[in-house]
Amino acid sequence: MFKSLKIYVGQEIDFESLLNEFIVFGYKRQDAVLVEGDFSRRGGLIDIFPNSFELPVRIELDNNSISSIRTFNPSNGEGLWQHNMLILLPIKKPGSLKTTPITADLSLTGFLDLSVGDYVVHNQHGIGRFLGLNKIKHQDKIRDHLVIEYDRQEKLFVPVESMHLVQKYIAFHAKRPKLYRLGGREWSRVKERARKGIQKMAWDLLSLQAMRISTKGFTYSRDTDWQREFEDSFPYEETLDQLNATLEVKKDMESGKLMDRLLCGDVGYGKTEVAMRAAFKTVMDGKQVAYLVPTTILAEQHFQNFSSRLKSFPLNIKLLCRFRTEGEQKEVVKGLKDGSVDMVIGTHRLLSEDVFFKELGLIIIDEEQRFGVKNKEKLKAFRLSANVLTLTATPIPRTLYMSLMGARDLSAINTPPQNRLPIKTIVVEYDDDLIRQAILREISRKGQIFFLHNRIEDIHKVKERLARKLPREVRLETGHGQMHPKELEDVMGRFLRGEIDCLISTMIIESGIDIPNANTIIVNNAHMFGLADLHQLRGRVGRFNRSAYAYFMIPKNIVLEKDARKRLAAIQEYADLGAGFNIAMEDLEIRGAGNLLGLEQHGFISAVGFDLYCRLLREGISTLRKAMINDKIQSSK
């Protein structure tokens, strides 16, 4: 039987009984909470580090009533997030063989942060509206109940003992979800349709995984002296998450099985370095590497970075994209076929019919969701013949991460590099004087600026307007996707070398451009961008250990749509490091889930809500894995 302990603001508790409950759940009393499973008491404060949480929680009491629950920073005691409720899960005891069966009724999330008026999903009754908590007398006992309103103002009273069946409704769209009738059959039909669609996706994932496992891959050697020398040349100190991700990748490579690992991490958190180390290891055993990226500019930048890091080693690395002439491209294609090219970095040009590899060992895919259906089919074939490492800067919610773990190999980099500072984010009306001040301040500290204007037709007028407002010595240049490849390559090269102070560009800079000296970005008409785009654009700066600034400009005297106001408020509020993983950035996280899972799954998430979707996915993967294991046992008899 699955057990959980529910604690919420306003709850009347017996102090000693609560502490005894913690012990029953496997928690240990300590002087301070340092790791999962610790709890401590000081006067009217209880600190506890719950199972599966990344930070501890402080419970504050006023007499016998809980007055606040908040996540806090254990290094300085600073409160981070307030919570209305906390669901505490037991600490897993080492060596225990008992497992909790995974079902759709088992909540995956620790928190249930609800406000009156929020939409919620009850697993058995569907989508309703949360009206608050009521005390109800039942069998001579007064108990707290969640009150949920359904269609036709019908009300459901859920005792707190059953509140694991209720989760906040989160989906892709801002429009109101449909409320269901209590006792009707429609919710059961909707849930069953979603369950079948989710099981089909789970089956596809597991079938591909089974095929890879049954296909013998190449067993890579242990790290060489050159590998260690190459990794030591990394100019920064690795984060623990980076090191763990690198170890997971190397373990895959040395196992003799084909690798298909997804590496998630916020913008600027060091995914490329993990990929670089995997690429180097591949080439050390005589295999070739293909690094596939969504844009020509990113291909060029990765090529420059890889070439710089690899200059001390006898490796042949080439670039294949429209920045190269037809003759140069033919030479690269020939080198890939005869094996003289060790590593190639390129756009979808790498997936063309004329490209063949002599010994392809690893394909690295940057932001796979940016490639079309036809390209994805070709990538699916690669997965059955070579190791695949997919990188994504799209945040993945912990619930989805946990649900997918049984069907995909995942690594996550959640910690920022050392000395990285949060980006100061300003949403403001367009103001020439403010722009002048921001640009000149950045130049005064010998930095560079991105000015993003996403309309090619008048980008040169924007440059002229800026030139009139700035001193003549400020070096301005434009860059956009309709420029001749050689001209654009020249502009980006000059900006990278510090020969341009302010680059006025379109969205071509959105993906992965990494220029440590550029630490101010000004986005014109910011209300026209989605939240995920704003987050990606902000990630173009702040790649170094100095303060960075992101200005999101909106036209003067404009009446913004409600959704645009919400997006701009969110991007300003959540400016901390790792904001992409912040619980409150639901829109961004769910969009990321959709990118990862595909369009059809969007519909199922909208139908049943994100939390129940994750539970159904976890249940489906668990059931299918058991069935596959049983089939294997039966066929071996």
Segment 275-316, tens digit of pLDDT = 999 999 999 999 999 999 988 888 888 898 899 999 999 999
What is the predicted pLDDT for the residue at 402?
A: 58
535 close to 588: Cβ distance less than 8 angstroms:
yes
Confirm whether 207 is domain-assigned: no
Alpha-carbon span 86 to 404, nearest angstrom: 24
* pLDDT of 592 higher than 80: no
Within 13 Å of residue 494, how many CA atoms lie on the same side as its CB? Answer: 16
Rounded percentage of the chain residues whose pLDDT exceeds 90? 32
Per residue in 599-616, pLDDT (tens digit) is 677 778 888 887 788 888
The SS3 of residue 161 is helix
Which of 389, 413, 437 is the C-terminal boundary of a domain?
Answer: 413
Question: Are 253 and 294 in a shared domain?
Answer: yes
Give the relative orientation of helices 240-254 and 271-284 as an angle to the nearest 10 degrees.
30
**Would the pLDDT of 588 be above 60?**
no
Asked whether residue 604 is domain-assigned, the answer is: no
Q: Supply φ then ψ for residue 385, to 5 degrees.
A: -135, -15
Token code pair at residue 306: 């890889």
Same structural domain, 389 and 353: yes
Q: What's the pLDDT at 47?
A: 93
Query: What is the β-pairing status of strands 155-159 and 85-88?
Result: unpaired
Q: Is the whole model's pTM more than 0.85, yes or no?
A: no
User: Does residue 487 sit within a domain?
Assistant: yes
The residue range of the domain holding 16 is 5-88
539 and 508 Cβ atoms separated by less than 8 Å = no
Distance CA 47, CA 69 (A): 10
Residue 336 lies inside a defined structural domain of this protein: yes
364, 483: one domain: no
Identify which of 514, 505, 519 has the alpha carbon closest to the alpha carbon of residue 305.
514
The domain tally of the chain equals: 4
- Residue-level pLDDT at 159: 86
With respect to residue 538, please indicate whether it lies within any of the assigned structural domains: yes
Q: How far is CA 380 from CA 204, 360, 368, 589, in A?
A: 12, 15, 11, 25
Residues 343, 351: Cα–Cα separation, whole Å:
15
DSSP string, 268-293: TSSHHHHHHHHHHHHHHTT-EEEEE-
**Looking at residue 369, what is its pLDDT?**
65
Backbone angles phi, psi at 381, to 5 degrees: -65, -40
Close Cβ partners of 170 (under 8 Å, ≥ 6 residues apart):
586, 590, 609, 610, 611
Q: What is the CATH number of the domain that holds 146?
A: 2.40.10.170
Q: Which of 413, 446, 471 is the last residue of a domain?
A: 413
One domain, residues 361 and 499: no
**514-540: pLDDT as tens digits:** 788 999 999 999 999 877 788 878 888
Using the 3D structure, point to which of 68, 88, 108 is the last residue of a domain.
88
Same domain, 39 and 150: no
State whether 438 and 515 are in the same domain.
yes
**Which token pair is 512?**
């992965």
- Residue 188 confidence class, pLDDT cut points 50, 70, 90: very high
Could you give the count of Cα atoms lying within 13 Å of 71 in the half-sphere of its Cβ? 13
Of 598 and 40, the structure prediction assigns the larger pLDDT to 40
Whether residues 454 and 337 fall in one domain: no
Q: Which domain CATH number covers 567? A: 3.40.50.300
Question: How high is the pLDDT of residue 289?
Answer: 96
Q: How confident is the model at residue 13 (pLDDT cuts 50, 70, 90)?
A: confident
The two tokens of residue 456 are 């090619």
Cβ distance 440 to 470 under 8 Å? yes
User: Do both 478 and 558 map to the same domain?
Assistant: yes
